[in-house]
Structure formats: structure tokens, C-alpha cells
Amino acid sequence: MKLNCNVIKDLLPLYADQICSEESRGLVEEHLTDCTDCSALLRQMRNEEMENSLETEAVDVLHRQAKLFKRKSAVIGAAIAGIFMIPVLVCLIVNLATGAALDWFFIVLAALLVAASLSIVPLMMPDHKLLWTMGTFTASLFLLFGVICIYTRGTWFFLVSATVLFGLSVCFLPFAVYAQPLKVLLGSYKGLTVMAVDTFLYILMMSVIGVYVKSPEFGHLAPKISFPCLLLAWFVFLLIRYVNCNGFLKAGICTTLVGVYGFFANYLVNRWIGVEHSLPAFHPLIWNVDTVDGNIRWLALIGCCVVGIALAARGIVGKTKEI
């Protein structure tokens, strides 16, 4: 009995999965011998089924490998933690045997925690390894500073902590904002967040330094020296991040601006704080102790301006061609 293609197409899924009756199988196979369209449809269904099967198998393999890697990482982390416990126990036994105080024992323990934050934490944490590593490293480093400060009876803990925190932020925060979950949480404000945090930590660092040195002159000079630097950094960031113009034009403006700032910074800051200061003289044919600083400043200014103007011109020409 001949069946039309619509009936066969309804039976093809059952036939491809081999769950139809023998009578239906015979009718489908009889139809497929004469119908190229239904035969092509059957081949397509089998190819799609094979692709789905391969995709499912690949996901399963990746999942099993991820679980295996996590188990191995946990085992390696536990082994390293056990190794770290050896010097801790040795220091504890020596302290107790000699009747000494446990102060330097805690220094050793805090130092080992710093090492553990960089070696054990990335292996033990299943998710967000970067954030956990950076967070535990920072916390253990501050713990080490605190223990040493207490042991030496020093007053420098907040000074060192503020400066180190600013340095860590400048080096690692641009990478941390691209790690989950901060990447999703901050969205398109990652760069702005980095700049705001760095600015806050810089101001905090300078404030702590001012409190530590207890010098009225520092409180008078630090804001006037820091403000132009922060202003330049923010201008460059906002120009690069938010101004919609050609990349070469941005690079040209930034290069020229950095060159001009480097040349006039000392002069303007000294005039701002009330100190007479003249612009450096340019003596390209005379290089000695008296002229080297001025010559280098002038060459840097000329070089930055030439490169900046060339980049800006390239950007303007490229923009004109696009239009």
C-alpha cells in the first residue's frame, strides 16, 4: 500500500528512533525506495540526532573533567596545607621548648598564611578563584603587617597598609573587575569604578602619610602637588573612555598633553606654592650637570608634541576618508 509523503513524514521520527511497529516500518521503507525527498529528510533527522548526541557527550565529558580537576586541586591544596603545617609545628615546639614567648611564632604563622593565600586558595576554591586569591592575599598581608607591628611595638601599621593597599589596587583592581561576579555587577562602569577606587585610596594614603609625618608643610604641599596629577589622570581616562572620536586622535591628544604636563609641571606647582621657579633652558649643544635636566625636558616636550600631532593628523585624515 502506497502512502503519501505527509503520512510518511509523521512516521519518520518513530522510524528514526526505531520505535514504530513492523507494519509501519515496512510501509516507510517501501516509500523511501521511491521518494528522494523523504529519504533526504530522514538523513537530515539522523544527522541532527547525531550532532545532538555528540554535543551532549561533549558536555558530559567536560563536566566530568571539571569535577576531576576540582577533586585533584582539592587534594593538592590539602597536601600543600599539610606541608605548611610542618614549619608551624616546628616553630611552636621550639617556642615551647625554649620557654620563649609566642610572638615570633605568630610572625611565621602570618607569613605562611600569605604564602597559602597564593598557593592553596586558588586550588581549594571551586569558583571565583581570582577574587578569593586577591582577597585572602590582601587580608593575610595586612595580618602579617599587624603582627610585626605589634611585635616591634611600632606605629607604622596604617602607613604601610594604606600605601600597600593603593599599590595593590593600581596593579590588580583592573583585572579583578573583569572577574565574576564583579564583571556582571559593575557592567559598563568597570573603568570608572577602578579610577574612583584608586583616587580614593590615593587620597587615603596621602592623608595617612600626613598624619604620620605630622608636618604642616606636608599638609600644605601634598594637595597642590597631587591635584594636577589626579586631574591629568582623570582627563586622560574620561577622554579615552567616553569621548566618541577616532582612536588615533585620542592617542595624539593624550601624548601631547602628557608631554606638556611633564614640561610645565614643576614650574606651575612651584608658582602655586609660592616658590620662584623658571622654565628650563634649552642648550642642545651643551650637555653637563647644569643643562642635562633642561635639555631632556625640552626633548621630551618636542618629541611628545611631534608624535601627538602626527597621531592626531592620522586620526583626522582617517575620519575624513570614512566620511
| DSSP letter assigned to residue 188 | G
Q: How confident is the model at residue 308 (pLDDT cuts 50, 70, 90)?
A: very high
At residue 1, the pLDDT reads 46
In angstroms, the Cα distances linking 13 to 16, 22, 221 are 5, 15, 82
Residue carrying C-alpha cell 528512533: 17
Interatomic CA distance for residues 240 and 253, integer angstroms = 10
Q: Report the phi/psi class of residue 153: left, alpha or beta, with left for phi > 0 and alpha for psi in -120 to 50.
A: left
- Its pTM stands at 0.69
Domain ranges in the chain? 63-153, 155-227, 239-323
Rg (CA), the chain: 34
Interatomic CA distance for residues 89 and 85, integer angstroms = 6
Point out the least confidently predicted range of 30-44, 233-247, 297-311.
30-44
pLDDT tens by residue, 42-94? 777 777 666 666 566 666 666 666 666 566 666 666 676 666 666 666 666 66
Considering only residues 262 and 58, tell me which one the structure prediction assigns the higher pLDDT. 262
Examine the pLDDT at 237 and tell me if it is beyond 60. Answer: yes
At residue 283, the pLDDT reads 87
Residue carrying C-alpha cell 623658571: 278
Residue carrying C-alpha cell 608634541: 305
At residue 81, the pLDDT reads 65
CA proximity to 137, closest of 117, 107, 121: 117
Amino acid (1-letter code) at residue 158: F
At residue 59, the pLDDT reads 64
pLDDT tens by residue, 115-157? 888 887 887 777 788 888 899 999 999 999 998 898 888 889 9
DSSP 52-78: HHHHHHHHHHHHHHHHHHHHHHHHHHH
DSSP 170-183: HHHHHHHTTSTTHH
Question: Around Cβ 263, how many Cβ atoms within 10 Å?
Answer: 19
Question: Around Cβ 98, how many Cβ atoms within 10 Å?
Answer: 8
Examine the pLDDT at 168 and tell me if it is beyond 90. Answer: yes
As a whole number, mean pLDDT of residues 164-182 equals 89
For residues 263 and 298, the answer to whether their CB atoms sit within 8 Å is: yes
At residue 219, the pLDDT reads 80
Examine the pLDDT at 2 and tell me if it is beyond 60. Answer: no
At residue 166, the pLDDT reads 94
Q: How confident is the model at residue 195 (pLDDT cuts 50, 70, 90)?
A: very high
Q: How confident is the model at residue 100 (pLDDT cuts 50, 70, 90)?
A: low
| DSSP letter assigned to residue 279 | P
Grid coordinates of 296: 631632556
Examine the pLDDT at 38 and tell me if it is beyond 90. Answer: no
